[in-house]
């Protein structure tokens, strides 16, 4: 099963994960919280290890909670 990063609502929008993602799969639009580009993320876990707030988890693709933090 392929993995993907999932960001919890407690993200403090520091932007660190955006800088360290090797695939440039993360954006932090207008400082409201990080978002994952599902087409780019390979689930490597680098962002989860580096997040100072520890709000990134690596989950299996297709799980309903991937979209839990969808921003309108
Ligand atoms: S490193 Fe963590 S707290 Fe910072 S923007 Fe990314 S997910 Fe949010
Ligand atoms: S799991 Fe890897 S590829 Fe996906 S967003 Fe995090 S650092 Fe980028």
Going from the Cα of 1 to the center of ligand 1, the distance in angstroms, rounded, reads: 25
In total, the chain counts a number of residues equal to 72
Q: What ligand is nearest to the CA atom of residue 17?
A: 1
31 lies in some domain: yes
Domain total in the chain: 1
Instruction: CATH number of the domain at 60, please.
Output: 3.30.70.20
Q: In this predicted model, what pLDDT tens digit does every residue of 15-29 receive, in sequence order?
A: 999 999 999 999 998
Domain-located, residue 44: yes
| Ligand that lies nearest to the alpha carbon of residue 21, given by its number in the listed order | 2
For 3, the 3-state DSSP assignment is strand
pTM for the full model? 0.85
The answer to whether the CB of 35 falls within 8 A of the CB of 8 is no
Q: How sure is the predictor about 70, in pLDDT bands with cuts at 50, 70 and 90?
A: very low
What is residue 53's DSSP assignment? T
Pocket of ligand 2 (CB under 6 A): 5, 21, 23, 25-26, 36, 41-47
Ligand 1: residue whose CA is nearest its atom 4: 14
Using DSSP's 3-state secondary structure scheme, residue 36 falls into strand
pLDDT digits (tens, 9 = 90+) for 5-14: 999 999 999 9
72 inside domain: no
Whether 70 is covered by a domain: the verdict is no
Domain with 51, as residue range(s), is 3-65
């Amino acid at each position: 099963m392929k993995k993907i990063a999932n960001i919890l609502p407690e993200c403090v929008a520091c932007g660190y994960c955006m800088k360290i993602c090797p695939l440039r799969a993360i954006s932090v639009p207008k400082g409201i919280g990080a978002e994952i580009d599902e087409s780019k993320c390979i689930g490597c876990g680098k962002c989860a290890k580096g997040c100072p707030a520890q709000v990134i988890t690596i989950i299996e693709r297709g799980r309903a909670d991937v979209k839990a933090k969808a921003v309108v």
